[in-house]
Amino acid sequence: MGAINQEDLPVAIQTDDAEVRMSDVGEMTVAYFRLKKGADFGPALAGLPEDLCQCPHWGYILKGRIKMKTRAGDEIYEAGQAFYWPPGHSPSALEDTEYVDFSPKEDFGAVIRHITGGTA
């Protein structure tokens, strides 16, 4: 696989507030997120340890601003910033936000199955 186009990736999560498109690439998963202002993953992550995502992510904010709830407190990320989110976080969109991230596929797959009830 060479270039990865967002629109070519299958939709894993589709709600009124969020769209997640993703595909496995080797041992990693690439995912594109589109979140509407106010979208909050907190309720979807309930039931995971500490009710937080336990998967690490590396990526880049394409548009908007996001608040990341972490064990150490809230952190804000905005368009133009690269990021690393270690395990133990929960995102919510402060503005309409788009970002791309890369995650270990086994860890991310477990989180997505939790969110979707095993349908993804």
Q: What is the pTM of this model?
A: 0.91
Strand 28-35 relative to strand 65-70, pairing: unpaired
- The answer to whether the beta carbons of residues 72 and 85 sit under 8 Å apart is no
Fold observed for domain 20-116 = Jelly Rolls (2.60.120)
Specify the pLDDT at position 67: 98
Q: Take residue 30 and report the two structure tokens written for it.
A: 């690439």
> Nearest 5°: phi and psi at 102?
-125, 130
Return d(Cα 25, Cα 45) in angstroms, integer.
24
CA max distance for the chain: 38
Q: Take residue 110 and report the two structure tokens written for it.
A: 């477990």
Write the CB contacts of 29 (distance below 8 Å, at least 6 apart in sequence): 22, 23, 102, 103, 104, 105, 108, 109
> Domain residues of the chain, as ranges?
20-116
Specify the pLDDT at position 3: 82
Q: What is the pLDDT along the chain (120 residues), one digit of tens a residue?
A: 578 888 888 999 999 999 999 999 999 999 999 999 999 999 999 999 999 999 999 999 999 999 999 999 999 999 999 999 999 999 999 999 999 999 999 999 999 999 988 755
Nearest to 6 by CA among 86, 60, 51, 45: 60
